Amino acid sequence: MRTQQLFDVNCLSCPNRNCSLLNCCDDNWVSFINDNKTVLHCKKGHHIINEETPVNGIYFILSGKVKVYKTGLGNKKQIIRLARNGDIVGHRGINRKFWPISATAIEDSFICFISNENFEKVVMSNPKLGYQMVLFFSDELFRSEEIVKNLSSLMVREKVAYALMKISESYPVFGNKIQEILLSRQDIAELAGTTKEQVSKHLNEFVKENIISFEGKRILVNNFKQLEIIANFHSTR
Amino acid sequence: MRTQQLFDVNCLSCPNRNCSLLNCCDDNWVSFINDNKTVLHCKKGHHIINEETPVNGIYFILSGKVKVYKTGLGNKKQIIRLARNGDIVGHRGINRKFWPISATAIEDSFICFISNENFEKVVMSNPKLGYQMVLFFSDELFRSEEIVKNLSSLMVREKVAYALMKISESYPVFGNKIQEILLSRQDIAELAGTTKEQVSKHLNEFVKENIISFEGKRILVNNFKQLEIIANFHSTR
DNA sequence: CGGGTCCTTGAGCCGGTTCAATGGTAGTGG
DNA sequence: CCACTACCATTGAACCGGCTCAAGGACCCG
Protein backbone atom coordinates (compact mmCIF):
# COMPACT_ATOMS: atom_id res chain seq x y z
CA MET A 1 0.00 0.00 0.00
CA ARG A 2 1.40 3.34 -1.01
CA THR A 3 0.76 5.13 2.25
CA GLN A 4 2.71 2.50 4.19
CA GLN A 5 5.72 3.06 1.97
CA LEU A 6 5.59 6.77 2.70
CA PHE A 7 5.80 6.08 6.43
CA ASP A 8 9.09 4.35 5.87
CA VAL A 9 10.61 7.09 3.72
CA ASN A 10 14.32 7.54 4.25
CA CYS A 11 15.61 11.10 4.43
CA LEU A 12 18.61 10.12 2.30
CA SER A 13 16.26 9.42 -0.58
CA CYS A 14 13.61 11.99 0.33
CA PRO A 15 11.77 13.43 -2.67
CA ASN A 16 12.28 16.81 -1.02
CA ARG A 17 15.98 16.26 -0.59
CA ASN A 18 16.56 19.77 -1.89
CA CYS A 19 14.36 21.28 0.84
CA SER A 20 15.73 23.91 3.18
CA LEU A 21 16.75 21.50 5.89
CA LEU A 22 18.29 18.55 4.10
CA ASN A 23 19.92 20.69 1.47
CA CYS A 24 22.30 22.25 3.97
CA CYS A 25 23.39 19.16 5.89
CA ASP A 26 25.98 16.55 5.04
CA ASP A 27 24.96 12.91 4.82
CA ASN A 28 25.86 12.18 8.42
CA TRP A 29 23.42 14.75 9.64
CA VAL A 30 20.77 13.67 7.19
CA SER A 31 21.12 10.21 8.71
CA PHE A 32 20.78 11.74 12.15
CA ILE A 33 17.60 13.47 11.05
CA ASN A 34 16.36 10.25 9.52
CA ASP A 35 16.87 8.37 12.79
CA ASN A 36 15.18 11.03 14.89
CA LYS A 37 12.24 12.09 12.79
CA THR A 38 8.65 10.96 13.04
CA VAL A 39 6.35 10.84 10.05
CA LEU A 40 2.73 11.74 10.68
CA HIS A 41 -0.16 10.97 8.40
CA CYS A 42 -2.64 13.87 8.56
CA LYS A 43 -6.01 13.58 6.90
CA LYS A 44 -7.67 16.64 5.43
CA GLY A 45 -8.83 18.86 8.29
CA HIS A 46 -6.43 17.39 10.82
CA HIS A 47 -5.00 19.97 13.25
CA ILE A 48 -1.23 19.74 13.28
CA ILE A 49 -0.49 22.77 15.46
CA ASN A 50 -2.84 24.52 17.87
CA GLU A 51 -2.30 28.10 18.99
CA GLU A 52 -1.23 28.66 22.59
CA THR A 53 -0.14 25.06 23.14
CA PRO A 54 3.50 24.34 24.05
CA VAL A 55 6.05 24.28 21.23
CA ASN A 56 7.52 20.82 20.92
CA GLY A 57 9.47 20.83 17.69
CA ILE A 58 9.40 21.65 14.02
CA TYR A 59 7.57 20.14 11.06
CA PHE A 60 8.41 19.53 7.41
CA ILE A 61 5.85 18.69 4.78
CA LEU A 62 6.74 15.50 2.95
CA SER A 63 3.61 15.65 0.81
CA GLY A 64 0.30 17.45 0.90
CA LYS A 65 -0.73 20.98 1.82
CA VAL A 66 -1.17 22.83 5.08
CA LYS A 67 -2.76 26.14 5.98
CA VAL A 68 -1.13 28.21 8.71
CA TYR A 69 -3.35 30.75 10.42
CA LYS A 70 -3.89 32.92 13.45
CA THR A 71 -7.12 33.24 15.40
CA GLY A 72 -8.10 36.81 16.25
CA LEU A 73 -10.84 38.48 18.22
CA GLY A 74 -14.28 36.95 17.76
CA ASN A 75 -12.68 33.73 16.56
CA LYS A 76 -11.87 35.36 13.22
CA LYS A 77 -9.18 33.39 11.44
CA GLN A 78 -6.53 34.83 9.17
CA ILE A 79 -4.51 32.48 7.02
CA ILE A 80 -0.93 33.72 6.82
CA ARG A 81 0.58 30.95 4.75
CA LEU A 82 -0.21 28.03 2.49
CA ALA A 83 2.57 25.48 2.78
CA ARG A 84 3.22 22.53 0.50
CA ASN A 85 5.64 19.64 0.11
CA GLY A 86 9.18 20.62 0.97
CA ASP A 87 8.06 23.53 3.13
CA ILE A 88 8.89 24.06 6.77
CA VAL A 89 6.01 24.52 9.18
CA GLY A 90 6.53 25.53 12.76
CA HIS A 91 9.65 27.64 12.50
CA ARG A 92 7.48 30.27 14.16
CA GLY A 93 7.92 28.27 17.34
CA ILE A 94 11.65 28.96 17.48
CA ASN A 95 12.44 31.01 20.57
CA ARG A 96 8.86 30.71 21.85
CA LYS A 97 7.25 28.62 24.55
CA PHE A 98 3.79 28.55 22.96
CA TRP A 99 2.68 28.33 19.37
CA PRO A 100 1.71 31.72 17.95
CA ILE A 101 -0.11 30.02 15.06
CA SER A 102 -2.28 27.05 14.18
CA ALA A 103 -1.72 24.68 11.28
CA THR A 104 -4.27 22.40 9.62
CA ALA A 105 -3.96 19.99 6.72
CA ILE A 106 -6.05 21.06 3.72
CA GLU A 107 -5.20 17.85 1.87
CA ASP A 108 -4.21 14.41 3.07
CA SER A 109 -0.60 15.00 4.03
CA PHE A 110 2.50 13.34 5.36
CA ILE A 111 4.41 15.50 7.80
CA CYS A 112 7.89 14.93 9.25
CA PHE A 113 8.47 16.01 12.82
CA ILE A 114 11.73 16.74 14.60
CA SER A 115 11.95 17.67 18.27
CA ASN A 116 13.29 20.99 19.46
CA GLU A 117 16.49 19.53 20.91
CA ASN A 118 17.35 17.52 17.83
CA PHE A 119 16.64 20.39 15.48
CA GLU A 120 18.81 22.69 17.55
CA LYS A 121 21.61 20.14 17.38
CA VAL A 122 21.35 20.05 13.61
CA VAL A 123 21.33 23.83 13.27
CA MET A 124 24.24 24.30 15.63
CA SER A 125 26.32 21.74 13.76
CA ASN A 126 25.58 22.98 10.25
CA PRO A 127 26.55 26.65 9.96
CA LYS A 128 25.31 26.79 6.39
CA LEU A 129 21.90 25.78 7.64
CA GLY A 130 21.93 28.60 10.17
CA TYR A 131 22.59 31.10 7.44
CA GLN A 132 19.92 29.50 5.30
CA MET A 133 17.49 29.88 8.16
CA VAL A 134 18.25 33.60 8.31
CA LEU A 135 17.50 33.95 4.60
CA PHE A 136 14.36 31.89 5.00
CA PHE A 137 13.11 33.98 7.90
CA SER A 138 13.91 37.15 6.01
CA ASP A 139 11.71 35.90 3.20
CA GLU A 140 8.94 34.92 5.58
CA LEU A 141 9.07 38.36 7.16
CA PHE A 142 8.79 39.91 3.74
CA ARG A 143 5.73 37.85 2.92
CA SER A 144 4.11 38.64 6.23
CA GLU A 145 4.62 42.35 5.73
CA GLU A 146 3.17 42.13 2.26
CA ILE A 147 0.06 40.73 3.90
CA VAL A 148 0.06 43.64 6.33
CA LYS A 149 0.32 46.11 3.49
CA ASN A 150 -2.46 44.44 1.53
CA LEU A 151 -4.82 44.10 4.47
CA SER A 152 -4.50 47.77 5.19
CA SER A 153 -4.61 49.21 1.69
CA LEU A 154 -6.56 46.92 -0.66
CA MET A 155 -10.29 46.83 -1.38
CA VAL A 156 -12.03 43.48 -1.10
CA ARG A 157 -11.98 42.87 -4.85
CA GLU A 158 -8.23 43.37 -4.81
CA LYS A 159 -7.78 41.20 -1.75
CA VAL A 160 -9.62 38.33 -3.38
CA ALA A 161 -7.41 38.64 -6.46
CA TYR A 162 -4.34 38.57 -4.25
CA ALA A 163 -5.64 35.51 -2.43
CA LEU A 164 -6.10 33.67 -5.74
CA MET A 165 -2.53 34.52 -6.68
CA LYS A 166 -1.22 33.20 -3.38
CA ILE A 167 -3.25 30.02 -3.70
CA SER A 168 -2.13 29.26 -7.21
CA GLU A 169 1.47 29.58 -6.09
CA SER A 170 0.87 26.49 -3.99
CA TYR A 171 -0.76 24.53 -6.77
CA PRO A 172 0.87 23.02 -9.82
CA VAL A 173 0.56 24.80 -13.15
CA PHE A 174 -1.36 22.96 -15.83
CA GLY A 175 -0.53 24.13 -19.31
CA ASN A 176 -0.04 27.78 -20.04
CA LYS A 177 -1.10 30.19 -17.31
CA ILE A 178 -3.76 27.83 -16.05
CA GLN A 179 -3.73 27.09 -12.37
CA GLU A 180 -6.27 25.15 -10.43
CA ILE A 181 -7.58 26.05 -7.05
CA LEU A 182 -9.51 23.80 -4.71
CA LEU A 183 -10.34 25.54 -1.47
CA SER A 184 -13.63 26.48 0.18
CA ARG A 185 -14.96 30.03 -0.03
CA GLN A 186 -14.41 30.26 3.69
CA ASP A 187 -10.72 29.38 3.31
CA ILE A 188 -10.28 31.94 0.56
CA ALA A 189 -12.01 34.52 2.75
CA GLU A 190 -9.68 33.77 5.64
CA LEU A 191 -6.73 34.14 3.34
CA ALA A 192 -7.95 37.37 1.77
CA GLY A 193 -9.16 38.89 5.01
CA THR A 194 -12.86 39.16 4.24
CA THR A 195 -16.07 37.09 4.39
CA LYS A 196 -17.16 34.05 2.39
CA GLU A 197 -20.06 36.01 0.91
CA GLN A 198 -17.74 38.67 -0.48
CA VAL A 199 -15.48 35.98 -1.91
CA SER A 200 -18.42 34.34 -3.62
CA LYS A 201 -19.55 37.63 -5.14
CA HIS A 202 -16.15 38.69 -6.38
CA LEU A 203 -15.26 35.26 -7.75
CA ASN A 204 -18.43 35.39 -9.83
CA GLU A 205 -17.41 38.88 -10.98
CA PHE A 206 -14.06 37.49 -12.08
CA VAL A 207 -15.82 34.73 -13.99
CA LYS A 208 -17.93 37.33 -15.81
CA GLU A 209 -14.74 39.18 -16.69
CA ASN A 210 -13.25 35.92 -17.95
CA ILE A 211 -10.31 36.16 -15.55
CA ILE A 212 -11.12 32.83 -13.95
CA SER A 213 -13.59 30.05 -14.61
CA PHE A 214 -15.26 27.31 -12.59
CA GLU A 215 -14.87 23.65 -13.39
CA GLY A 216 -16.86 21.72 -10.86
CA LYS A 217 -15.41 22.69 -7.50
CA ARG A 218 -12.20 23.83 -9.13
CA ILE A 219 -11.19 27.36 -10.02
CA LEU A 220 -9.15 27.80 -13.17
CA VAL A 221 -7.11 30.95 -13.60
CA ASN A 222 -7.37 32.05 -17.22
CA ASN A 223 -5.64 35.39 -16.97
CA PHE A 224 -2.99 35.42 -14.29
CA LYS A 225 -1.57 38.72 -15.49
CA GLN A 226 -4.90 40.43 -14.96
CA LEU A 227 -5.13 39.05 -11.42
CA GLU A 228 -1.74 40.57 -10.68
CA ILE A 229 -2.88 43.92 -11.98
CA ILE A 230 -6.03 43.86 -9.88
CA ALA A 231 -4.07 42.78 -6.81
CA ASN A 232 -1.61 45.62 -7.35
CA PHE A 233 1.18 43.08 -7.53
CA HIS A 234 4.62 43.79 -8.93
CA SER A 235 7.50 41.52 -8.18
CA THR A 236 10.67 43.20 -6.97
CA ARG A 237 13.57 41.35 -5.44
CA MET B 1 29.56 70.20 21.01
CA ARG B 2 27.72 67.08 21.98
CA THR B 3 26.68 65.99 18.49
CA GLN B 4 30.27 66.08 17.28
CA GLN B 5 31.25 63.71 20.04
CA LEU B 6 28.57 61.28 18.93
CA PHE B 7 29.97 61.25 15.43
CA ASP B 8 33.23 59.99 16.86
CA VAL B 9 31.67 57.28 18.98
CA ASN B 10 33.79 54.17 19.21
CA CYS B 11 31.99 50.84 18.97
CA LEU B 12 34.15 49.46 21.77
CA SER B 13 32.56 51.95 24.13
CA CYS B 14 29.16 52.15 22.42
CA PRO B 15 26.29 52.86 24.81
CA ASN B 16 24.44 50.09 22.98
CA ARG B 17 27.29 47.65 23.43
CA ASN B 18 24.75 45.04 24.48
CA CYS B 19 22.84 45.42 21.21
CA SER B 20 22.22 42.43 18.97
CA LEU B 21 25.25 43.01 16.78
CA LEU B 22 28.04 43.98 19.12
CA ASN B 23 26.90 41.61 21.83
CA CYS B 24 27.76 38.57 19.76
CA CYS B 25 31.17 39.60 18.44
CA ASP B 26 34.56 39.46 20.06
CA ASP B 27 36.61 42.63 20.41
CA ASN B 28 38.49 42.10 17.17
CA TRP B 29 35.28 42.09 15.21
CA VAL B 30 33.90 45.03 17.15
CA SER B 31 37.02 46.89 16.07
CA PHE B 32 36.39 45.80 12.51
CA ILE B 33 32.88 47.15 12.73
CA ASN B 34 34.17 50.34 14.25
CA ASP B 35 36.59 50.87 11.38
CA ASN B 36 33.99 50.17 8.72
CA LYS B 37 30.89 51.87 10.03
CA THR B 38 29.53 55.26 9.12
CA VAL B 39 27.53 57.35 11.56
CA LEU B 40 24.70 59.39 10.08
CA HIS B 41 22.97 62.27 11.78
CA CYS B 42 19.30 62.22 10.79
CA LYS B 43 17.02 65.09 11.71
CA LYS B 44 13.37 64.46 12.48
CA GLY B 45 11.59 63.58 9.25
CA HIS B 46 14.75 62.50 7.42
CA HIS B 47 14.23 59.51 5.13
CA ILE B 48 16.78 56.84 5.94
CA ILE B 49 15.45 54.11 3.66
CA ASN B 50 13.17 54.47 0.64
CA GLU B 51 11.08 51.60 -0.68
CA GLU B 52 12.10 50.10 -4.02
CA THR B 53 15.59 51.58 -3.95
CA PRO B 54 18.62 49.25 -3.99
CA VAL B 55 19.67 47.66 -0.71
CA ASN B 56 23.12 48.88 0.26
CA GLY B 57 23.64 47.71 3.81
CA ILE B 58 22.21 47.58 7.28
CA TYR B 59 21.55 50.25 9.92
CA PHE B 60 21.75 50.36 13.70
CA ILE B 61 20.20 53.09 15.80
CA LEU B 62 22.77 54.68 18.07
CA SER B 63 20.24 57.12 19.47
CA GLY B 64 16.81 58.42 18.52
CA LYS B 65 13.71 56.77 17.05
CA VAL B 66 12.76 55.57 13.60
CA LYS B 67 9.47 54.49 12.05
CA VAL B 68 9.53 51.64 9.56
CA TYR B 69 6.60 51.47 7.15
CA LYS B 70 5.28 50.17 3.87
CA THR B 71 3.41 52.17 1.27
CA GLY B 72 0.32 50.48 -0.12
CA LEU B 73 -2.24 51.21 -2.78
CA GLY B 74 -3.35 54.82 -2.93
CA ASN B 75 -0.19 55.87 -1.11
CA LYS B 76 -1.61 54.52 2.16
CA LYS B 77 1.17 53.99 4.64
CA GLN B 78 1.28 51.28 7.28
CA ILE B 79 3.85 51.53 10.04
CA ILE B 80 5.14 48.08 10.89
CA ARG B 81 7.72 48.96 13.50
CA LEU B 82 8.91 51.68 15.81
CA ALA B 83 12.64 51.26 16.38
CA ARG B 84 14.77 52.95 19.03
CA ASN B 85 18.36 53.07 20.22
CA GLY B 86 20.04 49.70 20.05
CA ASP B 87 17.62 48.40 17.40
CA ILE B 88 18.52 47.09 13.99
CA VAL B 89 16.88 48.71 10.98
CA GLY B 90 17.23 47.31 7.52
CA HIS B 91 17.54 43.61 8.22
CA ARG B 92 14.56 43.34 5.89
CA GLY B 93 17.03 44.02 3.09
CA ILE B 94 18.88 40.77 3.68
CA ASN B 95 18.51 38.53 0.64
CA ARG B 96 16.78 41.28 -1.34
CA LYS B 97 17.88 43.58 -4.10
CA PHE B 98 15.42 46.38 -3.30
CA TRP B 99 14.12 47.70 -0.02
CA PRO B 100 10.67 46.33 0.82
CA ILE B 101 10.18 49.08 3.42
CA SER B 102 10.83 52.74 4.09
CA ALA B 103 12.35 54.16 7.27
CA THR B 104 12.09 57.70 8.56
CA ALA B 105 13.47 59.34 11.70
CA ILE B 106 10.72 60.51 14.05
CA GLU B 107 13.26 62.17 16.35
CA ASP B 108 16.71 63.57 15.74
CA SER B 109 18.74 60.38 15.52
CA PHE B 110 22.22 59.03 15.06
CA ILE B 111 22.35 55.95 12.90
CA CYS B 112 25.26 53.59 12.28
CA PHE B 113 25.58 52.11 8.82
CA ILE B 114 27.48 49.01 7.69
CA SER B 115 27.71 47.89 4.09
CA ASN B 116 26.34 44.59 2.88
CA GLU B 117 29.74 43.03 2.31
CA ASN B 118 31.12 43.99 5.69
CA PHE B 119 28.04 42.87 7.53
CA GLU B 120 28.14 39.53 5.77
CA LYS B 121 31.77 39.12 6.80
CA VAL B 122 30.85 39.77 10.41
CA VAL B 123 27.94 37.33 10.36
CA MET B 124 29.94 34.62 8.65
CA SER B 125 32.76 34.92 11.17
CA ASN B 126 30.61 35.01 14.30
CA PRO B 127 28.39 31.90 14.43
CA LYS B 128 26.75 33.09 17.62
CA LEU B 129 25.62 36.19 15.77
CA GLY B 130 24.07 34.06 13.04
CA TYR B 131 22.03 32.17 15.59
CA GLN B 132 21.09 35.45 17.25
CA MET B 133 19.88 36.72 13.90
CA VAL B 134 17.61 33.70 13.55
CA LEU B 135 16.09 34.39 16.96
CA PHE B 136 15.73 38.05 16.10
CA PHE B 137 14.00 37.32 12.83
CA SER B 138 11.73 34.83 14.51
CA ASP B 139 10.67 37.55 16.89
CA GLU B 140 10.17 40.04 14.08
CA LEU B 141 8.03 37.52 12.24
CA PHE B 142 5.95 37.04 15.34
CA ARG B 143 5.39 40.78 15.69
CA SER B 144 4.50 41.13 12.05
CA GLU B 145 1.94 38.37 12.27
CA GLU B 146 0.43 39.90 15.36
CA ILE B 147 -0.12 43.00 13.24
CA VAL B 148 -1.77 40.85 10.58
CA LYS B 149 -4.07 39.31 13.18
CA ASN B 150 -4.99 42.67 14.64
CA LEU B 151 -5.58 44.37 11.32
CA SER B 152 -7.98 41.65 10.32
CA SER B 153 -9.87 41.13 13.56
CA LEU B 154 -9.89 44.30 15.65
CA MET B 155 -12.30 47.22 15.55
CA VAL B 156 -10.84 50.70 15.23
CA ARG B 157 -11.17 51.44 18.95
CA GLU B 158 -9.17 48.30 19.66
CA LYS B 159 -6.60 49.08 17.00
CA VAL B 160 -5.97 52.51 18.49
CA ALA B 161 -5.47 50.96 21.92
CA TYR B 162 -3.00 48.50 20.44
CA ALA B 163 -1.14 51.30 18.69
CA LEU B 164 -0.78 53.17 21.98
CA MET B 165 0.63 50.04 23.58
CA LYS B 166 3.17 49.61 20.80
CA ILE B 167 4.19 53.25 20.98
CA SER B 168 4.69 53.26 24.71
CA GLU B 169 6.97 50.23 24.35
CA SER B 170 9.36 52.52 22.49
CA TYR B 171 9.19 55.31 25.02
CA PRO B 172 10.73 55.42 28.48
CA VAL B 173 8.48 54.84 31.47
CA PHE B 174 8.07 57.77 33.84
CA GLY B 175 6.95 56.81 37.30
CA ASN B 176 4.42 54.09 37.82
CA LYS B 177 2.52 52.92 34.74
CA ILE B 178 2.80 56.34 33.12
CA GLN B 179 4.14 56.40 29.60
CA GLU B 180 4.46 59.40 27.38
CA ILE B 181 3.71 59.43 23.70
CA LEU B 182 4.65 62.12 21.23
CA LEU B 183 3.54 61.25 17.73
CA SER B 184 1.14 62.93 15.32
CA ARG B 185 -2.40 61.61 14.91
CA GLN B 186 -1.43 60.68 11.39
CA ASP B 187 1.46 58.56 12.62
CA ILE B 188 -0.75 56.81 15.15
CA ALA B 189 -3.30 56.19 12.40
CA GLU B 190 -0.66 54.66 10.15
CA LEU B 191 0.43 52.43 12.98
CA ALA B 192 -3.10 51.38 13.93
CA GLY B 193 -4.30 50.96 10.35
CA THR B 194 -6.99 53.63 10.29
CA THR B 195 -7.42 57.39 9.66
CA LYS B 196 -6.26 60.38 11.66
CA GLU B 197 -9.86 61.42 12.31
CA GLN B 198 -10.70 58.08 13.87
CA VAL B 199 -7.59 58.27 16.02
CA SER B 200 -8.59 61.71 17.23
CA LYS B 201 -12.08 60.54 18.12
CA HIS B 202 -10.99 57.43 19.97
CA LEU B 203 -8.17 59.16 21.82
CA ASN B 204 -10.72 61.63 23.16
CA GLU B 205 -12.91 58.70 24.13
CA PHE B 206 -10.00 57.21 26.07
CA VAL B 207 -9.47 60.54 27.83
CA LYS B 208 -13.12 60.58 28.91
CA GLU B 209 -12.67 57.07 30.25
CA ASN B 210 -9.57 58.23 32.10
CA ILE B 211 -7.38 55.63 30.39
CA ILE B 212 -5.06 58.28 28.98
CA SER B 213 -4.69 62.03 29.39
CA PHE B 214 -3.27 64.86 27.33
CA GLU B 215 -0.48 67.07 28.55
CA GLY B 216 0.24 69.59 25.85
CA LYS B 217 1.19 67.53 22.81
CA ARG B 218 2.00 64.54 24.97
CA ILE B 219 -0.19 61.56 25.70
CA LEU B 220 0.10 60.06 29.15
CA VAL B 221 -1.06 56.50 29.69
CA ASN B 222 -2.80 56.30 33.04
CA ASN B 223 -4.16 52.79 32.83
CA PHE B 224 -1.95 50.53 30.78
CA LYS B 225 -3.78 47.42 31.93
CA GLN B 226 -7.04 48.73 30.54
CA LEU B 227 -5.40 49.46 27.19
CA GLU B 228 -4.24 45.86 27.05
CA ILE B 229 -7.73 44.62 27.73
CA ILE B 230 -9.23 46.83 25.02
CA ALA B 231 -6.53 45.77 22.56
CA ASN B 232 -7.22 42.11 23.32
CA PHE B 233 -3.60 41.73 24.34
CA HIS B 234 -2.27 38.84 26.37
CA SER B 235 1.42 38.12 26.51
CA THR B 236 2.45 34.55 25.83
CA ARG B 237 5.99 33.48 25.13
C1' DC C 1 0.34 89.70 12.32
C1' DG C 2 -0.20 86.14 8.79
C1' DG C 3 0.48 81.52 7.09
C1' DG C 4 1.01 76.88 7.89
C1' DT C 5 0.28 72.69 10.26
C1' DC C 6 -2.11 69.86 13.22
C1' DC C 7 -6.25 68.60 15.92
C1' DT C 8 -11.18 68.31 16.56
C1' DT C 9 -15.86 67.57 15.37
C1' DG C 10 -19.95 66.75 12.67
C1' DA C 11 -22.49 65.27 8.49
C1' DG C 12 -23.08 62.18 4.88
C1' DC C 13 -21.82 58.48 2.19
C1' DC C 14 -20.27 53.97 0.96
C1' DG C 15 -18.18 49.47 1.13
C1' DG C 16 -18.47 45.49 3.56
C1' DT C 17 -20.52 42.63 7.02
C1' DT C 18 -24.39 40.31 8.72
C1' DC C 19 -28.49 37.90 8.19
C1' DA C 20 -31.62 35.07 5.87
C1' DA C 21 -33.59 32.44 2.19
C1' DT C 22 -32.67 29.28 -1.55
C1' DG C 23 -30.63 25.73 -4.16
C1' DG C 24 -27.07 22.50 -5.20
C1' DT C 25 -24.20 18.48 -3.99
C1' DA C 26 -22.09 14.80 -1.56
C1' DG C 27 -22.43 11.40 1.84
C1' DT C 28 -25.25 8.13 4.62
C1' DG C 29 -28.33 4.72 5.69
C1' DG C 30 -32.58 2.39 4.92
C1' DC D 1 -32.17 3.40 -5.68
C1' DC D 2 -34.18 6.85 -3.16
C1' DA D 3 -34.91 9.77 0.83
C1' DC D 4 -32.63 12.33 4.39
C1' DT D 5 -29.14 15.15 6.19
C1' DA D 6 -25.41 18.18 6.37
C1' DC D 7 -22.57 21.23 4.30
C1' DC D 8 -21.38 24.64 0.98
C1' DA D 9 -22.31 28.28 -2.51
C1' DT D 10 -25.15 31.95 -4.09
C1' DT D 11 -27.83 36.04 -3.82
C1' DG D 12 -30.36 39.94 -2.07
C1' DA D 13 -31.67 43.10 1.63
C1' DA D 14 -30.62 45.81 5.41
C1' DC D 15 -27.63 47.62 8.63
C1' DC D 16 -23.55 49.76 10.35
C1' DG D 17 -18.78 51.03 11.16
C1' DG D 18 -15.45 53.64 9.30
C1' DC D 19 -13.90 56.80 5.72
C1' DT D 20 -14.22 61.15 3.40
C1' DC D 21 -15.02 65.75 3.31
C1' DA D 22 -15.41 70.17 5.23
C1' DA D 23 -15.37 73.72 8.62
C1' DG D 24 -13.51 75.67 12.65
C1' DG D 25 -10.04 76.23 16.13
C1' DA D 26 -5.47 75.91 18.49
C1' DC D 27 -0.80 76.46 18.22
C1' DC D 28 3.73 77.49 16.37
C1' DC D 29 7.03 79.99 13.72
C1' DG D 30 8.81 83.38 10.82
Tens digit of each residue's pLDDT (9 = 90 or more) over B178-189 = 556 679 999 999
- CB of B104 within 7 Å of some strand D atom: no
- As a rounded value in angstroms, the CA-to-C1' distance for A209 and D11 is 19
Q: Could you say which DSSP state residue B184 is in?
A: -
| pLDDT value for B115 | 96
Q: Smallest CA–CA separation between A166 and chain B, in Å?
A: 16
What are the DSSP E strand ranges found in chain A? 38-42, 47-49, 57-63, 65-71, 77-84, 88-89, 102-105, 109-115, 180-181, 212-215, 218-221
| CB-closest option in A80, A94, A158 to B148 | A80
| A21: DSSP letter | H
What share of chain A in percent tops pLDDT 70?
91
Higher pLDDT, B204 or A129: B204
In B23-150, beta strands by DSSP E? 38-42, 47-49, 57-63, 65-71, 77-84, 88-89, 102-105, 109-115
Shortest Cα distance, chain B CAs vs residue A205, angstroms: 21
* A136-183 pLDDT tens trace: 999 999 999 999 999 999 999 999 999 999 998 887 766 545 566 779
Q: How far is the CA of A80 from the C1' of C6 (A)?
A: 37
Burial of A90 (0-12, 13-18, 19+ CB in 10 A): buried
Question: What is the second-level CATH architecture of the domain B3-136?
Answer: Sandwich (2.60)
DSSP for B220-233?
Answer: EES-HHHHHHHTT-
pLDDT at A179: 62
More confident residue, B198 or A109: B198
Q: Is B169 within 8 Å of B163 (Cβ atoms)? A: no
d(CA B126, CA A218): 50
Q: Is the pLDDT of residue A123 over 60?
A: yes
Inter-chain touch B139–A74, beta carbons under 8 Å: no
Task: Pinpoint the residues of chain B covered by CATH 1.10.10.10.
Answer: 154-231
- Each residue's pLDDT tens digit in chain B (237 positions)? 344 445 667 888 888 877 766 778 888 898 999 999 999 999 889 999 999 999 999 999 999 999 999 999 999 999 999 999 999 999 999 999 999 999 999 988 999 999 999 998 988 888 788 888 889 999 999 999 999 999 999 999 999 999 999 998 887 765 544 556 679 999 999 999 999 999 999 999 999 999 999 988 889 899 999 999 999 998 766
Which candidate, B221, B73, B115, B111, places its Cα nearest to that of B160?
B221
Among A150, A229, A147, residue whose Cα is nearest residue B73: A150
- Look at residue A182 in the predicted model and tell me its pLDDT: 78
More confident residue, B63 or A236: B63
Quick one: average pLDDT of A79-108? 94
B195 touches strand D (CB under 7 A): yes
Per-residue confidence band for A237, with pLDDT thresholds at 50, 70 and 90: low
Q: CA A35 – C1' C25 distance (Å)?
A: 46
The boundaries of every CATH 2.60.120.10 domain in chain A are 3-136
The pLDDT value recorded for residue B1 is 38
- Interface residues 182-211 of B with strand C (CB < 7 Å): 184-186, 196-197, 199-201, 203-204
* Chain D nucleotides covered by protein, CB below 7 Å: 8-13, 17-22, 28
pTM score, whole prediction: 0.93
The class level of CATH for B154-231 reads: mainly alpha
Looking across all nucleic acid strands, the nucleotide with the smallest C1' to CA distance from residue B184 is C6
Mean per-residue pLDDT of chain A: 89
Please state, for a pLDDT cut of 90, what percent of chain A lies above it: 64
From B31, B35, B30, B43, select the one nearest B3 (Cα to Cα): B43
Q: Is B160 exposed, middle or buried (0-12, 13-18, 19+ CB in 10 A)?
A: buried
Residue type, B180: E
